A and B are shown apart, each in its own frame.
Chain A
Amino acid sequence: MSLRAPLARALHHGSAHDGVGHWLVQRVTATALAPLAIWLLIALLSLPSSDYTTVTRWIGAGLHPVLLALVVLIGAWHAWLGVQVVIEDYVHGFLAKTLALLASVFVHVLVAAGGLYALLRIALVSHA
């Protein structure tokens, strides 16, 4: 039995007041990703060939690096938010959950950074 007042026990254990932010950002990134996903799918399927020259030329051409960077960045952002909810729902135990959430953040940031680096390299170096 605790001697602490009910209010003191409740404080700092409730909503962190950023749940709506998470929900909203998930929807905003989803809205941005829908047209990007359709573009990427059609673009990949209509590549005339999958050889190195064709692919790197296509990646570096016009607005393609920008659109691909948006796919990678917004995709990683959206995936991070989604995977976070899945981990919170299915991974139990404080330590396992915390480690999984931490690993997820690191992997998603790594994906975003790696994708951006690859796109810059192709657009600025290989293509030239």
Chain B
Amino acid sequence: MAERPLSPFITVYRWSYTMTLSILHRITGVALALALLGLVAWLLSASRGADAYATFTPLLLSIPGKLLVVLAMAALIYHCCNGLRHLAWDMGWGFERVEARRSAALVVIVTLIAAALCLYALFRSGTGGA
């Protein structure tokens, strides 16, 4: 196993911003696996009654907690949009360089706008939101 040849690693390629989106897909994917763990922990706390819920939820509603929730939501939006891009590629659509770059820009714009909306929704009042 050890002596097998490796394919050229990313350091040999000229950087392009679509590569950043590609690695971001993995990073947000792993982050979302952790976010799912957090969601299930929250559901479990809710299932254990009002006291258990009251110990966990204020952490999520603190400023760092809300920021973490917004980051998780932004990761979800990004991973979802870029995932649709991957699904389109798998169908053979949008694989040309110009198209791939245009869809990349679209994913970034949609993510930024939706993440800003999440940020606004969570911080607009002291009690509202998740």
Contact = CB atoms under 8 A, between A and B. Distances in A.
A27 B87 contact: yes
Interface string A1-45: 000000000000000000000000001001101100110010011
Contacts of A71: 39
Contacts of B90: 27
A118 B129 contact: no
Contacts of B33: 79, 82-83, 108
Contacts, number: 105
Contacts of B107: none
State the main secondary structure of chain B at its contact with A: helix
Nearest to B57: A50
B40 A59 contact: no
A124 B60 CA distance: 25
Given A27-B87, A27-B90, A47-B129, A52 B54 contact: yes
Contacts of A108: 33
Interface in B43-92: 43-44, 46-47, 49-50, 53-54, 57, 60-61, 73, 76-77, 80, 83-84, 86-87, 90
Interface residues of A, number: 41
A41 B39 contact: no
Nearest to B61: A50
Interface string A92-123: 00100000000000011001001101110110
A45 B122 contact: yes
Interface in A59-87: 59, 68, 71-72, 75-76, 79, 82-83, 86
A34 B43 contact: no
A86 B36 contact: no
B43 A50 contact: no
B50 A52 contact: yes
A107 B44 CA distance: 15
A56 to B, nearest CB: 6
Contacts of A48: 128
Nearest to B50: A52
Given A30-B87, A86-B30, A49 B43 contact: no
A119 B54 CA distance: 18
Q: For the complex of A and B, list the 6 residue pairs with the smallest distance between their C-beta atoms, beginning with the closest.
A: A118-B43, A79-B33, A118-B47, A121-B47, A115-B40, A44-B130
